[in-house]
Structure 1
Amino acid sequence: MKKTIVLVVLALMFCGVSAVRANEVVEKLALYIPNRLIDALDTFTCDVGLGPSVRIELMATQVCKFGGGIGISPKLIKDYNRQYGIGINNGWYWSFLCIGQENMERAKCTRYVKNYQQNFEGCPSPDLRIYDLYTGERDFWQIGGALGLGVEAEVYIHPVEIADFVAGVFFIDLKGDDITFEDFQN
């Protein structure tokens, strides 16, 4: 009788663990294509604005950045960490390699775009909250540029997001940002 009870308890424990693991596998498979599409969209930024601004910039991370800009520009935003919507960039900056100054803000944003204000002098640091890999408003590691004279456009690629996309093909979520069934619950 003791052996039967022990076997039943062990079987129930094993089935409970297997059911949880089976749900994770089903979730990963069911949401595989949507997560890969979202990860692919995360690999780049494309913002377009219109307003009294002048800007030229080339960058390979925030440390290796050349250019500057000044003005105000309401923008359509498709930005880092899944920011989609409208916002207004206002301020000025200049940068030459690892030195520069900046007084920029993004304000009056729609729901899925984060407001921020960035003031610094010298060399930017990746440990600032604004550059947080998971929740930051800006990507420290982005590569690309911006150009504007009244009409402004920014295009950047995000190496960390590219790594997340490639790892996601093999069911590894480096940034922990894949959607789950829980995201669809109230």
Structure 2
Amino acid sequence: MKTGPNISYFASASAFIFLIATFNCATVPRYDEVHTSAKSSLNDADVFLSQKKNAEAAELIRAVLKIYPENERAKALYEKLPPQYKEAVSEIYYLGPNRGKREAEESGLLAKFAWYLPDRILDFLDIFSVNVKVGPQFGVSAWVTRGFQVSLYAGNTVQLGWFQKRNLGYTEELSAEAGLGPIVPISISGRSMGTGNKDAYESFVFHSPRKKIYQNYRDYWGTGVKAGAVVAGLEAEVHWVEFFDFLAGIFTFDVLDDDMAKTRPLNITSEQERKLYLLNTADRILHPAEIREIRREFPDLKDSEKKEFLSPENQVEKGPDKNTKRR
């Protein structure tokens, strides 16, 4: 029996997407890895605090407290943070991924003038996101906000395009959602890579900006539409919070802390990024009972081997010692 070209194409595309999803999905972290990352992150946070780099310290402490919320050492380091950074650790971001992950830092008048036009262009580009979806999928979704939506969609796709918060790259996403208004049962596993990285792993019914998916992955306040059939689809969205940030930026107000002229990137090494990713992945994909098991098996986060690390700008490659004598 011969199969039609459409069926063969669908089968090939499905196999291709399955392989991509298999090789790129987040690996479930081992318990000992989570513990080691938490302990090391607290060591690094302690050093950051001594260097007055409170934003970096807060980022590490936040990740550890997700796994060890009652740990005495983590809470002690948290208490050393200035009040505004304590709020950043414990706060639910109702603005979600609209807010930039940068630290406020005033620059000179000349730098502000030089960055004014580039910042306005970037703010404008932040307003829109659009991507092409490739992979098995079917359905349509439309939303004014995620609290007022209609959706009947399922897909296992690789998405290419311009994603929110200046992420030019691709996303792997497996999702299924169906419902009306804020009551839309959804199960989603997604990961974005490119000029910005983010991921999600969550299932729930009632949508609110407090959900983890709207803290880092999706914009609760955006308006958009997506549709897909067989192996192709499209998604487009307008981000209204970014629109207001663009308007405010014209008058030099940086509502979302994402202007180059007024902020700096967090000074975190690639190794610290890896540990943050592991801790955040554990928080997203492990069952609460598994998180409790980690705390039972590995309760100690005390600093037994404190090692000083060098922040990226202080990492200087050492040359040969000129005073060393050759024999």
Q: TM-score, normalised by structure 1?
A: 0.78
Query: Which residues in structure 2 correspond to 1:154-169 (within 5 Å)?
Result: 154-169=235-250
- Distance in 2, Cα, partners of 1:82 & 1:138: 14
Q: Does 1:144 align with 2:249?
A: no
Query: For 2:113, what is the secondary structure of its paired residue?
Result: helix
- Distance in 1, Cα, partners of 2:195 & 2:250: 30
In the alignment, is the contact (CA less than 8 A) between 1:85 and 1:113 conserved in 2? no
| 1:76 partner letter | L
In the alignment, is the contact (CA less than 8 A) between 1:67 and 1:94 conserved in 2? yes
- Distance in 2, Cα, partners of 1:144 & 1:96: 15
Aligned with 2:134 (options 50, 61, 64): 50
RMSD over equivalenced CA pairs, Å: 2.2
1:114 shift after superposition: 1.2
Aligned length: 161
1:24 shift after superposition: 3.1
- Distance in 1, Cα, partners of 2:167 & 2:179: 25
| 2:226 partner letter | A
Query: For 1:58, what is the secondary structure of its paired residue?
Result: strand
1:93-120 Cα deviation digits (max 9, x unpaired): 1121121100011137446231211311
- Distance in 2, Cα, partners of 1:40 & 1:88: 26
- Larger helix proportion, structure 1 or 2? 2
Aligned with 1:106 (options 177, 184, 190): 190
Q: Which residue of 2 is the match for residue 176 of structure 1?
A: 257
1:4-60 Cα deviation digits (max 9, x unpaired): xxxxxxxxxxxxxxxxx8x53222211011101100010011011111111201100
Q: Which residue of 2 is the match for residue 74 of structure 1?
A: 158
Q: Which residue of 1 is the match for residue 288 of structure 2?
A: none
Q: TM-score, normalised by structure 2?
A: 0.46
Flag the 1:125–1:51 CA change in 2: closer, same or farther, 3 A: same
- Distance in 2, Cα, partners of 1:109 & 1:170: 33
Q: Which runs of 5+ in 1 are unaligned?
A: 1-20
In the alignment, is the contact (CA less than 8 A) between 2:192 and 2:198 conserved in 1? no
Identity %: 26
Query: For 2:197, what is the secondary structure of its paired residue?
Result: coil
1:81 shift after superposition: 2.4
In the alignment, is the contact (CA less than 8 A) between 2:165 and 2:196 conserved in 1? no
Q: Which residue of 2 is the match for residue 119 of structure 1?
A: 203
Which stretch of the first structure deviates more once superposed, 139-148 or 104-113? 104-113
Flag the 1:37–1:119 CA change in 2: closer, same or farther, 3 A: same
Aligned with 2:121 (options 23, 28, 37): 37
1:88 shift after superposition: 1.1
| 2:210 partner letter | D
1:84 shift after superposition: 2.1
1:182 shift after superposition: 4.8
In the alignment, is the contact (CA less than 8 A) between 1:28 and 1:171 conserved in 2? no
Q: Does 1:97 align with 2:181?
A: yes
| 2:213 partner letter | I
Moved segments of 4+, more than 4 Å: none
1:45-98 Cα deviation digits (max 9, x unpaired): 101111111120110001110022112111103222222211211121112112
- Distance in 1, Cα, partners of 2:148 & 2:264: 40
Which stretch of the first structure deviates more once superposed, 103-112 or 160-169? 103-112
- Larger strand proportion, structure 1 or 2? 1
